[in-house]
Amino acid sequence: MKYRILIIILALLPLYSIAQLPLLTEDRLWTMVEIHCLPQGNTYQSHYLELGPDTTIEGQVYRSLRYAADETQSTWYPYGGFIRETGDGKVYYKKDNAPEGLIYDFSAGFGDTVVVINPELIPEPLNFVVTVEDSIYLEDGWHRMLVLQDTAFPGEETWIEGVGSLSGLVKSGLTAFGSACGDFDLLCTSDDGFSVYVNPEYPACWYVYTRITDPEKQDALKIYPNPVGEHLFIEAEMMVPGEKYLLRIADFSGRIIHQEQMTENSFNTSFFPPGMYFLTITTSKGTFNGKMIKQK
């Protein structure tokens, strides 16, 4: 009997020997990818998220959030959200003028109920029950992991202490809704340049990819130089000299910011702010996609 008890204790050792890890630490960086479903195939857009300066709202001290939409992180923009963490492992998030909501509770254990209200998603509460309490070994050591489920929804939510949700820092609760056409995934987290978590489902911490139904079309469009400065050149077999084609350019959020009929194979990009953009070329032979990264 004593040997069985010893085996159980050793099996649980990683779970109970690790101290609670804070989520919001200085120099922490999260990389997310957003999946868009389009008729010609899915597009994947990456962005970075980090903590900004402190701000006080209604007597509470929050950390502001900011994001970068280019791999070089040359420009950071306000994200519009504010986040704070308490000493007992609870994390609250405030978006725009909405009341703050609890988006994490790392003090919860197996069988506990956590009521999540994430203003980034929906204002209604998610009544999560912790169905799995475990630990996972990452690049900086052991981290506590919780799997949660709301019986009203089909999916499971996974939280990693010191990392956040596998949907991204402020997307806690998203996977409870199950698979859908359009999603967010956490790619990586790092501390001051040192890797902590890497998503095994993706090839890198910065992932941008356009899936096109016809594989031949993927190689048919050439965009250069990329990153681009003031002028972008477009070459493709489907572009007939002198024939008009429609150029659409979307920003990081998917909003069309420029559209025009063209015959030339060059385009002035000097008026675009730095960041990542998605291009759609429509000709008489079909629609083709690409991306460009605008430098300063």
Please determine, looking at this structure, whether the domain spanning 214-294 carries the CATH number 3.30.460.10: no
pLDDT of residue 253: 52
Other C-beta atoms lying within 10 Å of the C-beta of residue 128: 26
Other C-beta atoms lying within 10 Å of the C-beta of residue 112: 14
Between residues 280 and 226, which one has the greater pLDDT?
226
The pLDDT of 251-264, averaged and rounded, is 74
Domain limits, the chain: 27-198, 214-294
Percentage of the residues of the chain whose pLDDT score is greater than 70: 82
Rounded to two decimals, the pTM is 0.67
pLDDT of residue 81: 93
Q: Which long-range contacts link 115-120 to residues 24+ away (Cβ below 8 Å)?
A: 116/172, 116/173, 118/93, 118/170, 118/171, 118/172, 118/173, 119/93, 119/94, 119/95, 120/81, 120/93, 120/95, 120/170, 120/171
Please confirm whether the linkage preceding 225 is cis (ω < 30° from 0). yes
CA distances (Å), origin 32, targets 73, 121, 290: 13, 16, 20
From CA 206, how far away is CA 188, in angstroms rounded? 9
Give pLDDT tens digits for 139-153: 889 999 999 999 888
